[in-house]
């Protein structure tokens, strides 16, 4: 009964607080209409959410599982369950790849609008995976990642505008330019960590944006760079539909390459050094890891993927301006990493797809987009602080026979 009274009090309190926002509608003639249906729906939703909230934390305090079930103690059964899960993951991955390949030709979702949405989602997957290198694997908090994104996009736009270079010529140049900028940022911040590193990278992002905005003779300032061409296929002329489809497949191939490379990196000596530095810099340095080299490698690799994604973005929109690379973009990329699970490749991919696709396909709730976004992040931090998919960590077990042999 006490739980019901608390839920009722919470619902009434929320209704009172939200009355000026959701309960009143100002009409053009100066009068106001009271919308009690919205407040009633909000109160009912908060009531049941509060009941669920208290029930969850009471069970958590008692140490009980959320949904019962027994833990398997038998090792063969655990291995069998793990094998089944891996088989399921491979089948799910194959089905997803088949859908992604066939998507531009499926009736109903093969319009230019739908394909463009998926191109944006794939570009953000690349950005989130690139940021996951420095944030998830290396444990360095970066808040100015959109600066490298902007450098890659403007490299393509300016090289085309002044020298007439195409997509394929600018792609490696943009990667090299962002790597140099990543190293230039990495050197001064080698001794910084945590909040101090976040403030410096935030300042770097704003410096790049303001430089692009005020360097009017080169970047055209707020007018931006327009007329950026899309990638060509051996010089074949394509209409808008086929050009968008071709860019979609390029973005999909780029995401596949990104996932393969970052997976290999995560399991390599460099990746293990990055994860060791994330856990404890002092202990990793004592074990012989060169922190300077490892940090600079993380900055260089992470910035390179942002540069590649920037070139794809410039090719998709054919127009870039400093307003496309604000702090909000960096915050969104970091939210994708946190929501998906820092260090997890699958989780970061899911987080990017959710934060890009869900707002597009739920435009009926566009007025409450920021409210839903904030509520989702708060709920995730309370109930699932490690993200949708927890990053895998290596564990080493030494058997009794090995200890005896030593």
Across 208-221, average pLDDT: 89
Tell me what pLDDT residue 71 has: 41
Tell me what pLDDT residue 266 has: 85
Lowest mean pLDDT among 92-96, 123-127, 327-331: 92-96
* % of the chain residues with pLDDT over 90: 18
- What's the angle, vertex CA 235, arms to CA 229 and CA 237, rounded to 5? 70
What residues does 319 pair with on adjacent strands? Answer: 226
Tell me what pLDDT residue 311 has: 93
For the chain, the helix, strand and coil percentages under 3-state DSSP, each to the nearest 5: 75, 5, 25
Helix (H) or strand (E) holding 24: strand 24-26
Across 140-155, average pLDDT: 90
Tell me what pLDDT residue 37 has: 76
Spatial CA neighbour of 188 closest among 326, 299, 303: 299
pLDDT at residue 187 tops 70: yes
Q: How far apart are CA 51 and CA 48, in angstroms?
A: 5
Spatial CA neighbour of 342 closest among 135, 57, 148, 125: 135
pLDDT at residue 39 tops 70: yes
Tokens standing for 385?
A: 């602080």
pLDDT at residue 245 tops 50: yes
Kindly report the average pLDDT of the chain as a whole number.
Answer: 80
The tens digit of pLDDT for each residue in 329-363 reads 888 898 888 888 888 888 888 888 888 888 777 77
pTM of the model: 0.78
Across 370-379, average pLDDT: 74
More confident residue, 121 or 54: 121
Tokens standing for 22?
A: 């959701």
Across 152-173, average pLDDT: 90
pLDDT at residue 211 tops 70: yes
Annotated domain spans of the chain? 2-61, 90-383
Tell me what pLDDT residue 80 has: 43
Tell me what pLDDT residue 220 has: 85
The tens digit of pLDDT for each residue in 191-205 reads 777 788 889 889 999
pLDDT at residue 374 tops 90: no
pLDDT band at residue 395 under the 50/70/90 scheme: low
The tens digit of pLDDT for each residue in 266-287 reads 888 888 888 888 888 888 888 8
Nearby residues of 24 by Cβ (< 8 Å), 6 or more positions away: 32, 33, 34, 35
- What's the angle, vertex CA 189, arms to CA 184 and CA 192, rounded to 5? 170
Of 66-80, 118-132, 237-251, which one has max mean pLDDT? 118-132
3-class DSSP state of 353: helix
The tens digit of pLDDT for each residue in 281-308 reads 888 888 888 888 888 888 899 999 999 9
Architecture of the structural domain at 90-383: Orthogonal Bundle (1.10)
Spatial CA neighbour of 348 closest among 183, 134, 153: 134
Tell me what pLDDT residue 251 has: 92
* % of the chain residues with pLDDT over 70: 84
Q: How far apart are CA 155 and CA 377, in angstroms?
A: 34
* Complete DSSP assignment for 182-194: HHHHHTTTTT--T
Tell me what pLDDT residue 367 has: 67
Tell me what pLDDT residue 92 has: 67
């Amino acid at each position: 009964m006490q739980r019901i009274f608390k839920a009722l009090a919470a619902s009434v309190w929320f209704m009172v607080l939200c009355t000026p926002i959701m309960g009143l509608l100002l009409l053009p003639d100066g009068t106001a209409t009271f919308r009690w249906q919205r407040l009633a729906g909000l109160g009912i939703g908060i009531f049941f959410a509060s009941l669920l909230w208290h029930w969850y934390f009471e069970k958590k305090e008692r140490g009980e599982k959320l949904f019962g079930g027994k833990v398997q103690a038998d090792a063969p059964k655990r291995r069998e369950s793990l094998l089944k899960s891996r088989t399921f993951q491979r089948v799910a991955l194959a089905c997803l790849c088949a859908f992604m390949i066939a998507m531009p030709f499926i009736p109903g979702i093969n319009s230019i609008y739908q394909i463009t949405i998926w191109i944006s989602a794939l570009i953000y997957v690349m950005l989130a995976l690139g940021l996951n290198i420095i944030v998830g694997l290396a444990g360095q908090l970066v808040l100015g990642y959109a600066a490298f994104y902007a450098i890659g996009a403007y490299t393509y736009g300016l090289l085309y505008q002044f020298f007439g270079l195409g997509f394929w010529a600018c792609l490696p140049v943009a990667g090299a330019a962002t790597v140099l900028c990543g190293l230039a940022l990495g050197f001064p911040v080698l001794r910084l960590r945590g909040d101090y590193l976040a403030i410096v990278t935030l300042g770097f992002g704003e410096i790049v944006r303001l430089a692009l905005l005020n360097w009017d003779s080169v970047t055209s300032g707020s007018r931006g760079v327009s007329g950026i061409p899309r990638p060509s296929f051996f010089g074949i002329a394509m209409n808008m539909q086929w050009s968008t489809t071709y860019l979609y497949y390029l973005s999909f191939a780029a995401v596949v390459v990104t996932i393969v490379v970052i997976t290999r990196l995560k399991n390599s000596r460099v990746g293990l050094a990055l994860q060791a530095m994330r856990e404890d810099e002092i202990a990793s340095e004592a074990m012989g890891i060169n922190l300077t080299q490892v940090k600079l490698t993380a900055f260089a690799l992470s910035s390179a993927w942002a540069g590649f994604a920037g070139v794809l973005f410039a090719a998709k929109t054919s127009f870039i301006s400093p307003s496309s690379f604000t702090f909000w973009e960096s915050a969104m990329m970091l939210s994708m990493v946190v929501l998906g699970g820092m260090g997890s490749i699958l989780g970061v991919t899911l987080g990017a797809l959710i934060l890009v696709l869900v707002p597009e396909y739920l435009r009926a709730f566009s007025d409450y987009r920021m409210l839903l976004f904030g509520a989702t992040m708060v709920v995730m931090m309370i109930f699932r602080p490690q993200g949708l998919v927890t990053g895998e960590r290596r564990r080493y077990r030494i058997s009794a026979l090995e200890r005896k042999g030593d």
